[in-house]
Amino acid sequence: MNKPIRRVSVFCMLLVLALMARANWLQGVKATALANDKYNKRVQYDRYAHPRGNIFLANGRPMTKSTFVNGLRFKYKQDWTNGEMYAPVTGFSSQTQKNTQIEALEDDFLSGKDDRLFFRNTLDMLTGKPKQGGNVVTTIDEKAQKAAFNALKGKKGAAVALDPTTGAVLALVSTPSYDPGTFAGQDSSAYQKYLDDPDKPMLNRALRETYPPGSTFKIVTAAAMFENRVYNNPDDRTNTPARYLLPNTQQVLPNESKFEPCTNATVLVAMEYSCNTVFAKIGDEVGKDKLAAQAEKLGFNNPKVDIPVRAAESVFPRDSDRPGTALDAIGQHNTRVTPLQMAMVASAVANNGSLMQPYMVDKEQAPDLTTISQTKPKEMSRAFSPETAQKLQTLMQGVVESPGGTGRAAQIPGVTVGGKTGTAQHGENNKDLPYAWFISYAKSGDTPKVAVAVVVESSEGDNRAGIAGGKLAAPVAKAVMEAVLGK
C-alpha cells in the first residue's frame, strides 16, 4: 500500500473510532441527561404515544383513564373520573406542565418506561400487542373519600383518614380543589386560572399546608404528661389556679369561658372542656425538651414523611422560652402541623401507642394486572406505651361521650368514638378567623378501624363566634368514620 493511501486509511479509521466513541458517549454517559433535558420533547411525546396506566381506588375502580386524542405529536392524554375529588390523591399528569404527586412519582411505571416492565414490554412488542403503562392501586376507600369531599363542600379545609393498624391512607381531601383533566392536554389556560385563584385550589392542604393545631395538640401534651409521670391517671386532680399567669410574665391565659370547671380540674375534665389553663401549666411542668421528644415520636420535626408524596414538616419548636412552651403545649405559639400529622396522632392513640408508617400506594401492577410490588405495613415508631394509650383513649372518649365534652357532634350510636376539638388562633394578635379542628378515631369492638383529622380554614357565612372544632370539623370527621364503618 502506498503512503498516501495508508494515510487516508488511518484517517478514516480515526473518524470511525471518533464516531463510535461519540455514539457510546451519547448513548451511555449522556443518555439520562439528554432524556431529562427540558428541551427534549421526544421523551414527552413518547410518554403519550400509547395508553398511560391508571391509578385505582382500593376497590379497583379507576380514578384516572387514558383518552385517545390522535394528535400530531400526542396520541393520548390523561383524564379523571372525578377530578376535583381525587386530585389531592393523584396529582396531575399534563402535556404542558410538570407532573405532580403520584402522577410524578410513579411516572415511569404509569408510562411503561420502568425497567421492571421491560420484559413484558418486549414480549408485547414481539407478539404485536400495543405498549401500555402499568397501573397503580392506592389505599383510598371510595366511600370515605366521597364522604369527606361532600362534607367539606363550601368550606376551605382538608381531611385525612388512616387505618390505625396498617397506616393505609383511606381518604385524603383538600378543598377547594381543581380538575386536572382541564389542563391534561395542550391547553394550559385552565392551569393558569387555578394558579391565579386566591383560594389556592391547587394547594394540597392535607399534606402541604401547616396550621396551628390548637387544642388538638393537648393529646400530645397529655401523652408526655403520662409518659413522664407528671400525672398518672385521667382522674388525677391538677393543681391549676383560676387565673394562670404564663411563666415569667404578667400575661393571663384565659379559658374559652369563665364558666368552665377548669380550676384544679381532673385531667379528664380538663380534656373534656379543653381547659387551656390546665394544659399550658402541664406543658410548663413537663418541659420543652420532653414535650419535643414526645412530639418527635409522633412524627414532628421530621422533614421526610413520605406517603409516597412528601408531606410538609410538622414543627414543635425546640427553642421556645418558658411562656412560649406553655403556649406550644396548647397548640399555639410556634407549633405547626399538617392534617396528616394530626391523623397520625389520633392513629397512634387508637393503635395502643404504635404509630404505623402512613402509605397511599398499595401495589403496582403490570398491564396484565400481575402484581409487580406490594407495600407491606411497618411501624414508624413506638410513640408511647400501651398503658399511656389506654389513658389517652379514656380522655378522647370522654370528649365525645360526656355531657360536657366538646366533641359530642361526633357520636355514632353503637360505636366507640374518641375525639378532640381545637379552635386555633390565626393571624397577628388573632385578627383573622380561627381554624376549626377535630381529630378522632372509631373502633369496631376493640379493633380501631379509622383515625381522622379535619381542619376547616373557613366556611360560607363564617363569623368568629360560630367557629369551633366541634361545630365545623367534627361533623366532617363523623361522616368519614361512618363511611368506613359502613354506617
pLDDT band at 19 (very low <50, low <70, confident <90, very high): confident
Over residues 79-102, the mean pLDDT reads 95
Task: Please give the C-alpha separations between residue 466 and each of 45, 407, 414, 434, 460, in angstroms, as whole numbers.
Answer: 52, 15, 29, 10, 11
User: DSSP readout, 362-429?
Assistant: EEEE-TT--EEEE----EEEE-S-HHHHHHHHHHHHHHHHSTT-TTGGG--TTSEEEEEEEEEEESGG
Say what the pLDDT of residue 148 is.
98
Amino acid at the residue 452: V
Q: Which residues of 385-423 are buried (b: 16+ CB within 10 A; e: fewer)?
A: eeebbebbbbbbbbbbbbeebbbbbbeeeebbbbbbbbb
Share of the chain above pLDDT 90, in %: 74
pLDDT higher than threshold 70 for residue 463: no
pLDDT higher than threshold 80 for residue 187: yes
Distance from C-alpha of 158 to C-alpha of 463, rounded to nearest angstrom: 19
Say what the pLDDT of residue 39 is.
60
Say what the pLDDT of residue 383 is.
98
Residue 374 near residue 362, CB atoms below 8 Å: yes
pLDDT band at 1 (very low <50, low <70, confident <90, very high): low
For residue 84, give the C-alpha cell: 376535583
- Say how many Å lie between the first and final Cα of the chain, rounded: 94
Say what the pLDDT of residue 47 is.
76
Report the run of H or E that residue 174 belongs to, with start and end. strand 169-175
Residue 332 near residue 435, CB atoms below 8 Å: no
pLDDT band at 20 (very low <50, low <70, confident <90, very high): confident
Residue 325 near residue 291, CB atoms below 8 Å: yes
Q: What mean pLDDT is reported for the chain?
A: 91
Say what the pLDDT of residue 434 is.
86
Domains and their CATH numbers in the chain: 214-365+372-485 (3.40.710.10)
3-class secondary structure, 163 = coil
pLDDT band at 487 (very low <50, low <70, confident <90, very high): confident
Phi, psi of 7 (to 5 degrees): -65, -45
pLDDT higher than threshold 60 for residue 427: no
pLDDT higher than threshold 90 for residue 249: yes
Over residues 207-228, the mean pLDDT reads 98
Phi, psi of 369 (to 5 degrees): 75, 10
Q: What is the 3-state secondary structure (H, E, C) of 92-136?
A: CCCCCCCCCHHHHHCHHHHHCCCHHHHHHHHHHHHHCCCCCCCEE
pLDDT band at 328 (very low <50, low <70, confident <90, very high): very high
pLDDT higher than threshold 90 for residue 248: yes
To the question of pTM greater than 0.85 for the whole model, the response is yes
pLDDT band at 447 (very low <50, low <70, confident <90, very high): very high
Over residues 288-311, the mean pLDDT reads 97
Over residues 447-458, the mean pLDDT reads 95
pLDDT band at 117 (very low <50, low <70, confident <90, very high): confident
- Residues 31-63 have pLDDT tens digits of 666 666 656 666 677 778 889 999 999 999 999
pLDDT higher than threshold 60 for residue 461: no
The answer for residues whose C-beta is within 8 angstroms of residue 344's C-beta and 6 or more apart is: 162, 298, 299, 355, 358, 451
Torsion on CA atoms 378, 383, 388, 390, rounded to nearest 10: -30
Active-site annotation holds for 354: no
Distance from C-alpha of 367 to C-alpha of 136, rounded to nearest angstrom: 10
Phi, psi of 30 (to 5 degrees): -95, 0
| Cα-to-chain-centroid distance, residue 165 | 17
Distance from C-alpha of 327 to C-alpha of 276, rounded to nearest angstrom: 9
CA atoms within 13 A of residue 232's CA, in its CB half-sphere: 0
pLDDT higher than threshold 70 for residue 432: no
The answer for residues whose C-beta is within 8 angstroms of residue 75's C-beta and 6 or more apart is: 48, 49, 50, 68, 69
Say what the pLDDT of residue 273 is.
95
Amino acid at the residue 349: V
- Residues 219-228 have pLDDT tens digits of 999 999 999 9
Over residues 305-332, the mean pLDDT reads 97
pLDDT higher than threshold 60 for residue 162: yes
Of 174 and 39, the one with more pLDDT? 174
Say what the pLDDT of residue 118 is.
79
Over residues 72-80, the mean pLDDT reads 86
pLDDT band at 7 (very low <50, low <70, confident <90, very high): confident
Query: Residue 347: which of 480, 163, 478, 207 has the closest Cα?
Result: 163
Indicate which residue of 66, 93, 111, 215 is catalytic.
215
For residue 32, give the C-alpha cell: 439520562
pLDDT band at 5 (very low <50, low <70, confident <90, very high): confident
Of 438 and 126, the one with more pLDDT? 438
DSSP 211: B
For residue 266, give the C-alpha cell: 381532673
The answer for residues whose C-beta is within 8 angstroms of residue 273's C-beta and 6 or more apart is: 255, 260, 261, 262, 265, 404, 405, 406
Say what the pLDDT of residue 452 is.
98
- Residues 92-104 have pLDDT tens digits of 999 999 999 999 9
Task: Give CA angle at 365 (131, 180), nearest 5°.
Answer: 75
pLDDT higher than threshold 70 for residue 399: yes
pLDDT higher than threshold 80 for residue 30: no
Residue with cell 366533641: 407
Distance from C-alpha of 460 to C-alpha of 322, rounded to nearest angstrom: 38
